[in-house]
């Protein structure tokens, strides 16, 4: 199955730390005119808010822009996106519980499986933590989005 241009959604709990960071990183690495890249959350605490201070600060330090505002994941996202990357097992279970069928479930994966295949590792949640926590998350998501960008850029050249 050829998925180009890809439609990719990143999902975390509040949609203000990890998923908007992954969204901004992948947008920065790709031709966003061709790709559809977005992020969403599973809880309504932060709807409409920009990414948290730690996320905005690390993006700025790395020269990456974002205009993201937190939104909720919903079942229509299964129709709109080809791939749905979740940040941890709790997110994975919630998204899979919302899946309507096997096709929906097949679109969902833990993002760190891109760099640690089959290890099913969680991206730690840096919310309300410190610079070291967001740095760790940044490096993990930077590597994972590098892998995603390379995979689809290679697929496009076929």
Q: Which amino acids are annotated catalytic? A: 12, 18, 125
Whether the upstream peptide bond of residue 5 has omega within 30° of 0, thus cis, is: yes
Strand ranges of the sheet holding 83-86, from the earlier edge strand across to the other edge: 36-41, 7-12, 83-86, 108-110
Classified as helix, coil or strand, 136 is helix
Residues contacting residue 76 through CB under 8 Å, at least 6 positions apart:
none
Length of the chain: 158
């Amino acid at each position: 199955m050829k998925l180009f241009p890809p439609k990719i959604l990143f999902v975390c709990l509040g949609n203000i730390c990890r998923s908007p960071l992954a969204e901004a990183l992948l947008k920065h690495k790709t031709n966003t005119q061709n790709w559809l890249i977005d992020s969403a959350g599973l809880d309504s605490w932060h709807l409409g808010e920009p990414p948290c201070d730690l996320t905005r600060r690390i993006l700025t330090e790395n020269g990456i822009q974002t205009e993201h505002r937190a939104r909720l994941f919903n079942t229509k996202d299964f129709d709109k996106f080809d791939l749905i990357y979740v940040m941890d097992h709790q997110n994975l279970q919630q998204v899979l519980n919302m899946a309507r069928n096997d096709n929906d479930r097949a679109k969902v994966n833990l993002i760190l499986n891109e760099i640690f295949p089959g290890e099913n590792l969680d991206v730690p949640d840096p919310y309300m933590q410190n610079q070291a926590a967001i740095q760790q998350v940044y490096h993990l998501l930077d590597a994972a989005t590098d892998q995603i960008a390379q995979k689809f850029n290679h697929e496009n050249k076929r």
